[in-house]
Amino acid sequence: MAEEYPLARVVTGSRQIAAAVDATLADDTTVRLADAIGGPWARQQLLATAGDICSALDLPDVANRLWTRALPAAQQRGDIAATIMLTTLVAQSSLALGDYERSRELADRLRVLAHRHGDVSAEAQAENALGVLERRSGRLDEAVAHQQRSLDLFKSAGNGIGAMRALSDLGTIWRDRGDFAQALDAQLESVAERERSGDRLSNVYRNLALLYREIEDTAASRAYFERATEAAIRSGVPSMYSSVTGAYSSLLNDIEDYAGARKAAEEALAIDTALGDRPHQGFEHLELGRALLGAKQTVAAVEHFDRALSIGRELGQRELVARSLLHQTEIALSQREYLRARGLIDEAIAGLEATRLRPQLAQAYTLREQLARAEHDDAEALRYAHKSAAAREELIGIRASRQLSALEVRHARSDADQRLAMLAKDNELQSARLQAQAVQRRFGAIALAGLALALLALIWRYRGVRRLNRALELRSVEIERQRAALGEANTRLEQQAAELYQAATTDWLTGVSNRRDVLERIERALRESRAAGDEFAVLLVDFDHFKQINDLRGHLLGDRALTIGAHAMRDCLDEGDLLGRFGGEEFIAAIRARTPADVMAAAERMRTHVAGQLAWLMPELRGIATVSIGIAFLCDTGNDSDVAALLEAADRALYAAKHDGRNRVHRYAA
């Protein structure tokens, strides 16, 4: 794959140069010669220099190996500064290569060593590495603590660049935790400082792009990804370019640009494979799998999901493992491999419930509900439907607060700039007034001249204020535009919430309530009827010979029959009556505050009307396409009966109607 992409070829060429450096400067003969001439100091300098060259070539694996060989020489000489520097380099390169166990060991050692010898910047770098490790392991609270200490230490050492890097990493953790306002504020502060210094701009632009992707602001996310790509290309560092391109593929998959996502992920994977960057390879395999799955290339997608899962488990990256398992569960469900799907989704849920990855957890609950329904486990399906709805409602709230927080941060910064500008002008005007008063008091003889000068100063200040007012008017227009955008965002969120609620409570085929929703409504209606002393009836409606209809006319016409039948049932019910799909070809209705005679008459009308509508749809199946109805009244089952008791009684009545020849209404008799 490397020969297909220019930057991957660059890495391959760099690796050849590094191999020559390794063979020339760091082979055993050269190292022994240096040791013989200059002792441990010469050996250390030779190996460290060779490592620095390989690092400049963006080859962390070769550099890591050379720095590791140089470290014992520095320790042997008792050179604390060199030991700290080399330990830092080996820890950071091990982290980049995905050797988390070794990176953690070295970072812990570095933290102790740097603290003991008062090297505050090195201690801050150790805390930073530990924070990244904790985040990738899914322990976000511990990650925040490490990065906050890193930020404080960098500031106390006067290391501005290090502080901005720590702040950016802290913003990434806040994003993962859902604290979007803090995340955005941190990234904006970091980008402002790093634009002045030019330090790793591609990374901070990429982080902002991922933030806007989280709140589904596709336009802003794409704009920052483009800026990140330009900065990475200017840097000439392949690893920076692959990091941006791999992340960009996730946005392209989100907007269903599967061809673009595949191209971006393949290019990033080619570069990171040449670099030996295992963590990024895992996510690039994941995005490649998503792109291939979106393009209906399931077999190829499975291969990449397997690789992503293998890397995630090897490195202990919970997010990568969970997302790989979710996509594999989707595929297993589509192929009706229910046993395999159960194992995959249960593992994913166990991992996700230990993290704060809410979107993936909501998706996992939905998949678990689908699996339970496929296995006809209604109780389990209902349990996970509740969990999925709760997770999605929470997610909508989080997304809404994130979008609001983003706009609030922008407004807060804009308002602060305006207030500072106004205060500055007010101070200038006040100063001018004080000067005029002083002139009048001290120089009475030349008061007119002083006053004239003061007036000139005031006029000059006034003109400045007018210019400022014009600028503020323009800023006010921008704020109004942002407020309008906020209103539009709120409207979109309300629409999304309504759509999600509709999807969570409605049967997708017939448009009536789904099982979970109708049962909850029936429970509430039963409580109200019992409290008011009203009669209450539950009807179970089952389509007769439905398997025969599917076999003779196909499943599409069977679905049409269910839809037409559901609409016909609705026509026979009053506005306050309830109707929902109970499962398969079985529907449930509830009627309150009407006499048994009225309910029986309504049921007969329903039976006749449904049969007539189905006969119109399928004339050749007249007399076969009918429904049977079982009815249970609260007066027959006892006033203390719950919904389950009424359902059981209605089911018995339905069975009796079927037994008596179908196409009839039967009342439960205690």
The SS3 of residue 640 is coil
> What are the structural domains of the chain?
411-505 (no CATH), 515-667 (3.30.70.270)
**Which residues are within 8 A (CB) of 239 and not within 5 positions of it... i.e. 6 or more apart?**
58, 60, 96, 271, 272, 275, 277
Does the pTM of the predicted model rise above 0.75? no
Higher per-residue pLDDT: 568 or 317: 568
- Position 297 confidence tier, pLDDT thresholds 50, 70, 90: very high
DSSP 37-75: HHHHHHHHHHHHHHHHHHHHTT-HHHHHHHHHHHHHHHH
Are 546 and 583 spatial neighbours (Cβ–Cβ below 8 Å)?
no
Residue 1's pLDDT is 47
Q: Which helix (H) or strand (E) holds 303?
A: helix 298-315
**Residue 254 φ/ψ region, left for φ over 0, alpha for ψ in the -120 to 50 degree band, beta for the rest:** alpha
CA 530 remoteness from chain centre: 45
**Which residues are within 8 A (CB) of 410 and not within 5 positions of it... i.e. 6 or more apart?**
482
Residue 5's pLDDT is 60
Residue 594's pLDDT is 93
Mean pLDDT of 56-73: 84
Mean pLDDT of 625-640: 93
411 has a pLDDT exceeding 50:
no
Q: What is the pLDDT of residues 46-55, one digit of tens each?
A: 888 888 887 7
Residue 514's pLDDT is 92
Q: Which tokens hold the place of 41? A: 């100091």
The SS3 of residue 594 is coil
Residue 2's pLDDT is 43
What residues are paired with 539 via a beta bridge?
589, 631
- Position 597 confidence tier, pLDDT thresholds 50, 70, 90: very high
Q: Which tokens hold the place of 205? A: 């632009």
12 has a pLDDT exceeding 50:
yes
Q: What is the pLDDT of residues 239-250, one digit of tens each?
A: 888 888 988 898
427 has a pLDDT exceeding 60:
no
Q: Which helix (H) or strand (E) holds 544?
A: none
- Position 120 confidence tier, pLDDT thresholds 50, 70, 90: very high
Q: What is the pLDDT of residues 127-163, one digit of tens each?
A: 999 998 888 887 888 998 999 999 899 999 988 888 8
CB count within 10 Å of CB 196 equals 10
In this structure, of 335-344, 432-441, 647-656, the range with the lowest mean pLDDT score is: 432-441
- Position 347 confidence tier, pLDDT thresholds 50, 70, 90: confident
In this structure, of 51-55, 331-335, 578-582, 655-659, the range with the lowest mean pLDDT score is: 51-55
Residue with tokens 């409580």: 527
Nearest to 538 by CA among 414, 641, 409, 432: 641
Nearest to 177 by CA among 357, 360, 312: 357
272 has a pLDDT exceeding 90:
no
Mean pLDDT estimate for the chain: 81
DSSP 179-238: -HHHHHHHHHHHHHHHHHHT-SHHHHHHHHHHHHHHTT-HHHHHHHHHHHHHHHHHHT-H
